[in-house]
Structure 1
Amino acid sequence: MLYEHVDTAVIDGESLPWIPFTPYAEKVLLKYFKLDPIRGEWIVMMKSPIDMQLPKHHHTGSVMVYTIEAQWKYKEHDWIAGPGSIVYETAGSTHTPEVVSTGSTEGYVLTLVQVHERQRKCRQ
Protein backbone atom coordinates (compact mmCIF):
# COMPACT_ATOMS: atom_id res chain seq x y z
CA MET A 1 0.00 0.00 0.00
CA LEU A 2 1.35 3.39 -0.96
CA TYR A 3 1.18 6.33 1.41
CA GLU A 4 -1.22 8.07 -0.99
CA HIS A 5 -3.83 5.42 -0.20
CA VAL A 6 -3.78 5.83 3.58
CA ASP A 7 -6.78 7.77 4.85
CA THR A 8 -6.27 10.79 7.05
CA ALA A 9 -9.02 11.92 9.40
CA VAL A 10 -9.71 14.47 12.08
CA ILE A 11 -11.76 13.54 15.13
CA ASP A 12 -13.57 16.31 16.98
CA GLY A 13 -12.86 15.59 20.64
CA GLU A 14 -15.44 18.10 21.84
CA SER A 15 -18.21 15.98 20.31
CA LEU A 16 -17.08 12.76 22.01
CA PRO A 17 -18.61 11.77 25.37
CA TRP A 18 -16.70 11.01 28.58
CA ILE A 19 -17.33 7.37 29.56
CA PRO A 20 -16.62 5.83 33.00
CA PHE A 21 -13.76 3.29 32.97
CA THR A 22 -15.93 0.49 34.34
CA PRO A 23 -15.47 -2.00 35.88
CA TYR A 24 -12.03 -0.72 36.94
CA ALA A 25 -12.75 2.78 38.21
CA GLU A 26 -16.08 4.62 37.96
CA LYS A 27 -14.48 8.02 38.64
CA VAL A 28 -11.88 7.62 35.88
CA LEU A 29 -13.34 8.91 32.61
CA LEU A 30 -12.29 7.99 29.07
CA LYS A 31 -12.89 9.73 25.76
CA TYR A 32 -12.32 7.19 22.96
CA PHE A 33 -10.69 8.58 19.82
CA LYS A 34 -9.71 5.20 18.37
CA LEU A 35 -10.54 1.66 19.42
CA ASP A 36 -9.34 -1.12 17.12
CA PRO A 37 -9.47 -4.54 18.81
CA ILE A 38 -8.25 -6.29 15.65
CA ARG A 39 -4.97 -4.36 15.59
CA GLY A 40 -4.80 -3.91 19.36
CA GLU A 41 -4.67 -0.13 19.03
CA TRP A 42 -6.50 2.47 21.05
CA ILE A 43 -6.23 6.18 21.70
CA VAL A 44 -8.09 7.74 24.61
CA MET A 45 -8.09 10.90 26.63
CA MET A 46 -8.20 9.99 30.32
CA LYS A 47 -9.45 12.12 33.22
CA SER A 48 -8.34 10.74 36.58
CA PRO A 49 -9.41 12.25 39.94
CA ILE A 50 -7.06 12.86 42.87
CA ASP A 51 -8.29 9.66 44.59
CA MET A 52 -7.70 7.46 41.54
CA GLN A 53 -6.98 3.84 42.35
CA LEU A 54 -6.14 1.73 39.31
CA PRO A 55 -4.75 -1.75 39.93
CA LYS A 56 -1.22 -2.81 39.08
CA HIS A 57 -1.25 -3.99 35.46
CA HIS A 58 0.76 -4.38 32.28
CA HIS A 59 0.21 -4.14 28.54
CA THR A 60 1.47 -6.66 26.00
CA GLY A 61 2.63 -3.82 23.73
CA SER A 62 3.95 -0.30 24.06
CA VAL A 63 2.09 2.61 25.60
CA MET A 64 2.65 6.36 25.31
CA VAL A 65 1.05 8.78 27.77
CA TYR A 66 1.14 12.53 27.13
CA THR A 67 0.26 14.62 30.20
CA ILE A 68 -1.94 17.62 29.45
CA GLU A 69 -2.86 18.77 32.95
CA ALA A 70 -1.74 18.05 36.56
CA GLN A 71 0.77 15.43 37.79
CA TRP A 72 0.87 11.64 38.15
CA LYS A 73 3.35 8.79 38.53
CA TYR A 74 3.77 5.04 38.77
CA LYS A 75 4.34 3.68 42.27
CA GLU A 76 7.23 1.63 40.87
CA HIS A 77 9.21 4.72 39.77
CA ASP A 78 10.49 7.89 41.43
CA TRP A 79 9.73 10.30 38.56
CA ILE A 80 6.63 12.53 38.31
CA ALA A 81 4.94 13.26 34.97
CA GLY A 82 3.57 16.78 34.59
CA PRO A 83 2.09 18.92 31.82
CA GLY A 84 3.96 18.50 28.54
CA SER A 85 5.75 15.30 29.55
CA ILE A 86 5.58 11.99 27.70
CA VAL A 87 5.81 8.63 29.45
CA TYR A 88 6.79 5.72 27.21
CA GLU A 89 6.18 2.19 28.48
CA THR A 90 7.95 -0.72 26.90
CA ALA A 91 5.92 -3.83 26.14
CA GLY A 92 5.24 -6.00 29.18
CA SER A 93 6.24 -3.40 31.80
CA THR A 94 4.21 -3.52 35.01
CA HIS A 95 2.97 -0.36 36.70
CA THR A 96 0.51 1.09 39.21
CA PRO A 97 -0.70 4.59 38.25
CA GLU A 98 -1.44 7.17 40.90
CA VAL A 99 -2.28 10.88 40.89
CA VAL A 100 0.27 13.12 42.61
CA SER A 101 -1.46 16.49 42.26
CA THR A 102 -4.31 17.73 40.16
CA GLY A 103 -3.51 21.42 40.25
CA SER A 104 -6.51 21.94 38.01
CA THR A 105 -9.82 23.63 38.67
CA GLU A 106 -11.71 20.41 37.89
CA GLY A 107 -9.58 18.24 40.21
CA TYR A 108 -8.47 15.80 37.50
CA VAL A 109 -5.28 14.70 35.81
CA LEU A 110 -5.77 14.88 32.05
CA THR A 111 -3.71 12.62 29.77
CA LEU A 112 -3.75 11.39 26.19
CA VAL A 113 -2.98 7.65 26.04
CA GLN A 114 -1.96 5.67 22.96
CA VAL A 115 -1.73 1.87 23.29
CA HIS A 116 -0.41 -0.68 20.79
CA GLU A 117 -1.03 -4.15 22.23
CA ARG A 118 0.87 -7.04 20.70
CA GLN A 119 -1.12 -9.39 18.58
CA ARG A 120 -1.56 -12.85 20.02
CA LYS A 121 -1.25 -15.68 17.59
CA CYS A 122 -4.13 -18.09 17.42
CA ARG A 123 -3.34 -21.68 18.19
CA GLN A 124 -4.74 -24.30 15.88
Structure 2
Amino acid sequence: MSTHTPRSAAYTPDQLKRMPFQYAQPQGMLPDLVVAPVVPEDERIWVPQAENVWFRPLCLNRSAGYWINLLRVRKSGVLSRHRHPGPVHAYVIKGRWRYLEHDWEATEGGYAFEPPGETHTLVVDEGVTEMITLFNVQGCMYYVDPWGENVGYEDVFTKIDMCRQHYEAVGLGGDYVEQFIR
Protein backbone atom coordinates (compact mmCIF):
# COMPACT_ATOMS: atom_id res chain seq x y z
CA MET A 1 0.00 0.00 0.00
CA SER A 2 1.40 3.38 -1.04
CA THR A 3 1.67 6.24 1.40
CA HIS A 4 2.40 8.75 -1.42
CA THR A 5 0.16 11.82 -1.35
CA PRO A 6 -0.58 13.21 -4.80
CA ARG A 7 0.57 16.79 -5.40
CA SER A 8 -2.94 17.76 -6.37
CA ALA A 9 -4.13 17.12 -2.80
CA ALA A 10 -2.53 20.42 -1.75
CA TYR A 11 -4.85 22.41 -4.05
CA THR A 12 -8.58 23.02 -4.33
CA PRO A 13 -10.31 21.80 -7.50
CA ASP A 14 -10.70 25.43 -8.65
CA GLN A 15 -6.97 26.08 -8.13
CA LEU A 16 -6.11 22.97 -10.14
CA LYS A 17 -8.42 24.03 -12.97
CA ARG A 18 -6.71 27.41 -13.25
CA MET A 19 -3.14 26.12 -12.86
CA PRO A 20 -1.01 26.11 -16.03
CA PHE A 21 0.85 22.99 -17.09
CA GLN A 22 3.79 22.64 -14.73
CA TYR A 23 6.44 21.16 -17.05
CA ALA A 24 8.43 22.31 -20.06
CA GLN A 25 6.98 21.79 -23.52
CA PRO A 26 8.58 19.11 -25.71
CA GLN A 27 12.13 19.89 -26.81
CA GLY A 28 12.24 21.21 -30.37
CA MET A 29 8.55 22.09 -30.45
CA LEU A 30 7.76 25.01 -32.75
CA PRO A 31 6.56 28.22 -31.10
CA ASP A 32 2.91 29.23 -31.15
CA LEU A 33 1.83 31.41 -34.05
CA VAL A 34 -0.54 34.24 -33.18
CA VAL A 35 -1.42 36.79 -35.86
CA ALA A 36 -3.33 39.91 -34.92
CA PRO A 37 -4.99 41.62 -36.50
CA VAL A 38 -5.77 39.02 -39.15
CA VAL A 39 -6.93 41.74 -41.54
CA PRO A 40 -3.86 43.98 -41.36
CA GLU A 41 -3.89 47.74 -41.00
CA ASP A 42 -0.59 48.01 -42.91
CA GLU A 43 -1.33 47.57 -46.63
CA ARG A 44 2.26 46.42 -47.23
CA ILE A 45 1.46 43.08 -45.58
CA TRP A 46 -0.86 42.16 -48.48
CA VAL A 47 1.23 40.34 -51.11
CA PRO A 48 0.17 41.04 -54.71
CA GLN A 49 -0.78 37.91 -56.63
CA ALA A 50 -2.40 39.43 -59.73
CA GLU A 51 -3.97 42.76 -60.66
CA ASN A 52 -6.34 43.69 -57.81
CA VAL A 53 -5.69 40.33 -56.10
CA TRP A 54 -3.60 39.95 -52.94
CA PHE A 55 -2.98 37.39 -50.24
CA ARG A 56 -2.07 37.88 -46.59
CA PRO A 57 -0.07 34.99 -45.14
CA LEU A 58 -1.13 33.63 -41.76
CA CYS A 59 0.71 30.29 -41.63
CA LEU A 60 3.14 28.96 -44.23
CA ASN A 61 3.84 25.40 -43.11
CA ARG A 62 6.75 24.09 -45.13
CA SER A 63 7.13 20.92 -43.02
CA ALA A 64 3.54 19.78 -43.68
CA GLY A 65 3.14 21.44 -47.11
CA TYR A 66 0.15 23.68 -46.49
CA TRP A 67 -0.63 27.36 -46.17
CA ILE A 68 -3.34 29.44 -44.58
CA ASN A 69 -3.95 32.91 -45.92
CA LEU A 70 -6.50 35.56 -46.63
CA LEU A 71 -7.28 36.14 -50.28
CA ARG A 72 -8.45 39.67 -51.07
CA VAL A 73 -9.96 40.53 -54.43
CA ARG A 74 -11.02 44.01 -55.54
CA LYS A 75 -12.28 43.26 -59.02
CA SER A 76 -14.89 41.14 -60.67
CA GLY A 77 -14.17 38.37 -63.12
CA VAL A 78 -12.46 35.02 -63.40
CA LEU A 79 -9.50 34.69 -61.03
CA SER A 80 -8.14 31.24 -61.79
CA ARG A 81 -8.93 27.69 -62.83
CA HIS A 82 -7.10 25.21 -60.64
CA ARG A 83 -7.01 21.69 -59.26
CA HIS A 84 -6.32 20.64 -55.68
CA PRO A 85 -4.59 17.34 -54.88
CA GLY A 86 -5.35 18.00 -51.19
CA PRO A 87 -8.34 19.37 -49.29
CA VAL A 88 -9.09 23.09 -49.03
CA HIS A 89 -11.14 24.85 -46.37
CA ALA A 90 -12.54 28.34 -46.94
CA TYR A 91 -14.32 30.85 -44.70
CA VAL A 92 -15.73 33.97 -46.35
CA ILE A 93 -15.05 37.07 -44.26
CA LYS A 94 -16.32 39.66 -46.73
CA GLY A 95 -18.10 39.61 -50.08
CA ARG A 96 -18.87 36.50 -52.08
CA TRP A 97 -17.49 34.24 -54.81
CA ARG A 98 -18.37 31.10 -56.70
CA TYR A 99 -17.06 28.40 -59.02
CA LEU A 100 -18.22 28.04 -62.61
CA GLU A 101 -18.47 24.29 -62.08
CA HIS A 102 -20.96 24.45 -59.18
CA ASP A 103 -24.36 25.96 -58.48
CA TRP A 104 -23.52 27.21 -54.97
CA GLU A 105 -22.11 30.58 -53.97
CA ALA A 106 -19.72 31.19 -51.07
CA THR A 107 -21.17 34.16 -49.17
CA GLU A 108 -20.07 36.29 -46.23
CA GLY A 109 -19.97 34.18 -43.07
CA GLY A 110 -20.08 30.94 -45.10
CA TYR A 111 -17.73 27.97 -45.10
CA ALA A 112 -16.77 25.72 -48.02
CA PHE A 113 -14.89 22.42 -48.10
CA GLU A 114 -13.19 21.50 -51.37
CA PRO A 115 -12.28 17.81 -51.62
CA PRO A 116 -8.99 16.51 -52.99
CA GLY A 117 -9.12 16.17 -56.77
CA GLU A 118 -11.52 19.08 -57.25
CA THR A 119 -10.92 21.29 -60.31
CA HIS A 120 -12.79 24.58 -60.46
CA THR A 121 -12.79 28.12 -61.79
CA LEU A 122 -12.99 30.91 -59.18
CA VAL A 123 -15.22 33.87 -60.10
CA VAL A 124 -16.03 37.09 -58.28
CA ASP A 125 -19.23 38.47 -59.77
CA GLU A 126 -20.07 42.07 -60.70
CA GLY A 127 -21.18 44.18 -57.77
CA VAL A 128 -18.67 42.70 -55.32
CA THR A 129 -16.32 45.56 -54.46
CA GLU A 130 -14.14 43.51 -52.13
CA MET A 131 -13.93 39.82 -51.32
CA ILE A 132 -11.82 38.50 -48.43
CA THR A 133 -11.72 34.77 -47.74
CA LEU A 134 -9.60 32.74 -45.34
CA PHE A 135 -8.22 29.71 -47.22
CA ASN A 136 -6.45 26.67 -45.77
CA VAL A 137 -4.79 24.92 -48.73
CA GLN A 138 -3.23 21.49 -48.25
CA GLY A 139 -0.59 20.61 -50.85
CA CYS A 140 -0.65 22.80 -53.90
CA MET A 141 -2.79 24.39 -56.55
CA TYR A 142 -2.27 23.25 -60.14
CA TYR A 143 -3.41 25.93 -62.54
CA VAL A 144 -4.99 24.34 -65.59
CA ASP A 145 -6.64 25.27 -68.86
CA PRO A 146 -10.28 24.22 -69.56
CA TRP A 147 -9.07 20.74 -70.59
CA GLY A 148 -6.94 20.15 -67.50
CA GLU A 149 -3.55 20.85 -69.04
CA ASN A 150 -1.13 22.25 -66.45
CA VAL A 151 -0.28 25.95 -66.94
CA GLY A 152 1.40 26.58 -63.57
CA TYR A 153 1.33 25.77 -59.89
CA GLU A 154 1.54 27.29 -56.44
CA ASP A 155 2.74 25.65 -53.25
CA VAL A 156 3.94 26.76 -49.83
CA PHE A 157 7.43 27.37 -51.22
CA THR A 158 6.27 29.63 -54.05
CA LYS A 159 4.12 31.49 -51.50
CA ILE A 160 7.15 31.99 -49.24
CA ASP A 161 9.21 33.24 -52.19
CA MET A 162 6.47 35.69 -53.24
CA CYS A 163 6.25 37.02 -49.68
CA ARG A 164 10.00 37.36 -49.30
CA GLN A 165 10.34 39.32 -52.56
CA HIS A 166 7.36 41.56 -51.83
CA TYR A 167 8.34 42.35 -48.24
CA GLU A 168 11.86 43.21 -49.35
CA ALA A 169 10.49 45.52 -52.07
CA VAL A 170 8.11 47.39 -49.72
CA GLY A 171 10.68 47.97 -46.99
CA LEU A 172 9.58 45.39 -44.42
CA GLY A 173 12.60 43.22 -45.20
CA GLY A 174 12.63 39.79 -46.80
CA ASP A 175 12.84 38.12 -43.41
CA TYR A 176 9.44 39.57 -42.42
CA VAL A 177 7.91 36.38 -43.83
CA GLU A 178 9.78 34.23 -41.28
CA GLN A 179 7.18 34.92 -38.58
CA PHE A 180 4.58 33.01 -40.61
CA ILE A 181 6.73 29.99 -41.45
CA ARG A 182 6.39 26.77 -39.49
TM-score normalised to structure 1 length: 0.76
Structure 1 contact 27–52 (Cα < 8 Å) conserved: no
Tell me: higher relative CO, structure 1 or 2? Use CA pairs within 8 A at least 6 residues apart: 1
Gaps of 5+ in 1: 119-124
Match of 1:41 among 63, 66, 88: 66
Structure 2 contact 52–75 (Cα < 8 Å) conserved: no
Match of 2:103 among 74, 78, 86: 78
Cα distance change, pair 87–50 in 1 and its aligned pair in 2 (3 A): same
**Structure 2 CA distance for aligned equivalents of residues 109 and 52 of structure 1:** 12
Report Cα offsets for 1:30-63 as digits up to 9, x if no partner: 0011112342110111111232432211111000
Between structures 1 and 2, the one with greater strand share: 1
Find out whether 1:54 has 2:54 as its counterpart.
no
CA-CA distance at 1:96 after TM superposition: 0.3
Match of 1:117 among 124, 139, 142: 139
Matched residue, 2:123:
98
Find out whether 1:89 has 2:104 as its counterpart.
no
Q: Give the counterpart letter for 2:67 in structure 1.
A: W
Q: Give the counterpart letter for 1:96 in structure 2.
A: T
Gaps of 5+ in 2: 1-24, 141-182
Percent sequence identity is 31
**Structure 1 CA distance for aligned equivalents of residues 71 and 113 of structure 2:** 16
Between structures 1 and 2, the one with greater helix share: 2
Report Cα offsets for 1:65-122 as digits up to 9, x if no partner: 10011111000011111111111000110010001342xxxx211100001117xxxx
Aligned residues: 108
TM-score normalised to structure 2 length: 0.54
Structure 2 contact 86–117 (Cα < 8 Å) conserved: yes
SS of alignment partner, residue 55 of structure 1: strand
**Structure 2 CA distance for aligned equivalents of residues 54 and 38 of structure 1:** 28
Alignment RMSD: 2.0
Q: Give the counterpart letter for 2:88 in structure 1.
A: V
